[in-house]
Structures are given as structure tokens and as C-alpha cells.
Amino acid sequence: MCACKRVYYSGTLPVCALLFLQQICHTAEGHVVNGHAPADGLVMHASGGHVQVLQDAGNSLCKPPTLVPGTTDTFLVSCTSSSIPLSPGQVGHGYYTLTNPFPSRAVAIVTRAAQLVDADGRPVPISEIYVHHVVGNARIVSIAGSEMAGTHEALPLPEPYYLAANGTFFNEAKWRKVELHLIHLGGVPPESLQPCLECWCNHKKMANFAGGTLCCTKDNCPTPRANEQPTPYFLQYNITYRDPKHIENFKQAHVIFLDVVGHGGLHQYDVPLGAPGAEHVRSYTAPIDEHCPQEKPFAVLRCTGHQHVGARCLELVDTESGQLICSSCPVFDGSTGGDGRFHVRMTTTLVTPMYRLNPGQRVTINSRYDSSLERRGAMGHWYLTMTDWDPSCPKGPRSDSDYLVEMHNLWAIDSGPAGAAIADVETD
């Protein structure tokens, strides 16, 4: 058994996050962790049935900021991660350290965009690399999965709302981690595509699910091209920002994460086989501020969902009134390398007018999937942009019972100082 004490990390991880990393170790066929401690935090990569510690992102690069044409105070920073080498049939799943794209001061984020590219800068089609999921700090990477076909862009919020970041905070490497889960589909035959994409647990028995991230190995993706030399791929991420002092009536927004699976340390679930054309709905009801209790009313401004193959829609409902707050549905488009098998983006809802909620108010997540085929490793995640949200969790500490919540504390979702939010006085 791989011991997590052999995995190097600069900083403090909560116990539940360590358990998550240990779970990744346990999926390796040889249960081996090789290499040396990276200089700047944890970087793991699962290739086939092998887990290894890679070099840190020392080659990650951000170009100097440039003024966006037609503006006087909006700057663009374009960055590229270190290489992610993959051969056909291989699975890449690990944590990478990105370069800090922000100046050492408070900024208001205008847009965020990301895409997977090759060494020539060519956008990688989804028929070549399936992006299972990407999770990073919400201020650097707009979270996505197969939606990253072409360029996945988080467009500007309506004035005067902006995500904001303190660039000095991101000098610490652990806040620049991004989790990447990629699957190389080169040569994978049609009959193996579903087990490959859904990471079926054919090679091991899991107690609570039959497919998902922890079962993802090259065994799921047989291909006659498996012996080809690896191709280097890169995560390209672009951010535009401006000085919040130049924005009239500037208001800071925050991103929170909701999961239809709820508690229990599992962020994926299986969809049982139904009749032809049938739909399976998984629901979860809880206070919307369950993991960060609030003491004042707040509002939902924008909703972006994440689902997998077979998805139909994700809904967020006010439990008491039954009113639909927002929905996010898959879009199928062959123009970005898809061929009808994959969705290439999820719709984003700008909630107009903003939907006001009170502390402790309950919401219901409905995750809808086509069940004419059995589905494994399904996801139903919400990334909600909130206004009047206090990321310091004033009514009590954030729950630590769910490792995914802690993982998102660490890498994806802002939580006060831990998420690089800026104090209001910084923009006065």
C-alpha cells in the first residue's frame, strides 16, 4: 500500500485531503510513488496504472501583461503550464503548479479563459484528448471538463461585479495548484469508448461506485497506438484584469461550490440502467450555505454547471418555493473536435434579477442524465457566483467532513484569506 507520508507537500493539508491523496495512491497497480520532492509543492501524475511525482511547474510561463486594445486600464496575461506528456490510451491525473498571473496588488478580474494546446499552440480537439475535469483556484482557472473543447471562457460579470484577487497571496505555490484529469483517446475503438471515458472499475472492486476517477487507468482505454511516443500537451490560461479603484461602485463577487452527491467523500455517482429514452434524476437538498454559514442575506448572480457524458441538465431549485433559480445544460457541437458523443460546453445562466437567499435557506440540486445506458462516474457540480457573500464563514467553521469540500477550499473555491479575496478597504 502506498503511504501518503511518501508524498511531498509544502504546506498543511487537512486530514480529509490527505485521505483523498491516499485514495489516489491506492488506485496505482504497483502502489509506487517515485521521484524526489518537487521544489514547490505536490505534483502528481497517474499514467496508466502508475502514480509518480513529477517535476514541479518550473517551466510554467506567463508572458508580461499587455494592454487590451480599446481599453485604458484592462490588461491581458497569457500563461502556459508545464508539459503534460500522454500517449494514446494513457490517463493523466495529477496536480500541477501554475505560475502566478497577477501583479502584487489587488485586481478586479474581467475574464478568465483556458484551453488545452499542443507544443505548436494548436487547440487540442476533444476527439484526441478528453478533459475529464479541471479544478483550480477559481480566480485563475475557470473550472471545466469536456467543456474545455476549444476555449473555455468565463465571461465578464455585469457591472459593477467582479471576482477580485490579491496577487501577493498567490506568491504561495499551494494556492496555484490545478488538478488535471485527461484521457488520450487516440485509437480507442468505439466499443471501448464508454468504459474509457467513464473510468469503469473493471480491474478492482469499489464499495460505493462502479466507475470514476479512482478507477481511471490505461486498462479502460485499449488502443493499437499504445506504444506511440508521448505527445506533450499544455494548459493555456489567459486572464484579463483591471484596477478596482477605477471601477465605479465596485462590488466583489465570490464563487462557491455545490455537489449533488453531498457529503461522504464521493464526488461521482453511478446512473442505473433505465428504459429506452428514460431519464435518471439524482437530487440533494441542503442549506446553500451549509459549508460556509452566513449571517446576512446574499444572492445568486451566475450559475455554471459541470456534468459528464449522458448529461441532460443540472438544476438549482429553491426548495421551499419550488422556484427554479437556474439551470445549466450540455451543448453538443462538432466544430471543436466533437462528433456528437461529447458535449463541448455547459450553458451558463446569468440570474436576472439576482436571486436573493437568506442564511440557512435550503436549495435542491437536480442532476439529470439519460439512463437508456448505464452511466458510471457521473458528476453534478455547481459553480455559483454570489454577491453579498462573506467568505470568512461568520456563523461557524466550514464543514470538514467532505474531502471534496476541503479540496476545493485548497485549490478551487475562495474562502476569505484562503481564497485570495481582497478586503473591501483595499479598493477604497
Is 80 exceeded by the pLDDT of residue 357?
Answer: yes
> pLDDT per residue over 365-390, tens digit each?
999 999 998 888 888 989 899 999 98
**Which domain covers residue 9, as residue numbers?**
4-427
**Residue 216 banded pLDDT, cuts 50, 70, 90:** confident
Task: Give pLDDT, residue 266.
Answer: 67
Please report the DSSP string for 71-137 in residue order. -SSEEEEEEEPPPEEE-TT-EEEEEEEPPP-S-SSEEEEEEEEEEEEETT-PBPPTTTEEEEEEEE-
d(CA 218, CA 129): 14
Q: What are phi and psi of 331, to 5 degrees?
A: -120, 130
Q: What is the CA radius of gyration of the chain?
A: 21
Range among 38-52, 289-303, 408-422 with highest mean pLDDT value: 289-303
Q: Give me the percent of the chain exceeding a pLDDT of 90.
A: 42
Other Cβ atoms closer than 10 A to 11: 12
User: Distance between the two ends of the chain, CA-based, in angstroms?
Assistant: 54
Tallying the residues shown for the chain, one arrives at: 428
Task: Give pLDDT, residue 54.
Answer: 34
Cell of 267: 464526488
Other Cβ atoms closer than 10 A to 416: 16
d(CA 302, CA 112): 15
Is 70 exceeded by the pLDDT of residue 247?
Answer: yes
> pLDDT per residue over 306-324, tens digit each?
888 888 999 999 999 999 9
Task: Give pLDDT, residue 49.
Answer: 34
Q: Give me the number of domains the chain comprises.
A: 1
The stretches of 205-288 forming alpha helices (DSSP H) are none
Asked if 79 and 99 touch (Cβ cutoff 8 Å), the reply is yes
> pLDDT per residue over 113-144, tens digit each?
888 999 999 999 888 998 888 877 888 886 66
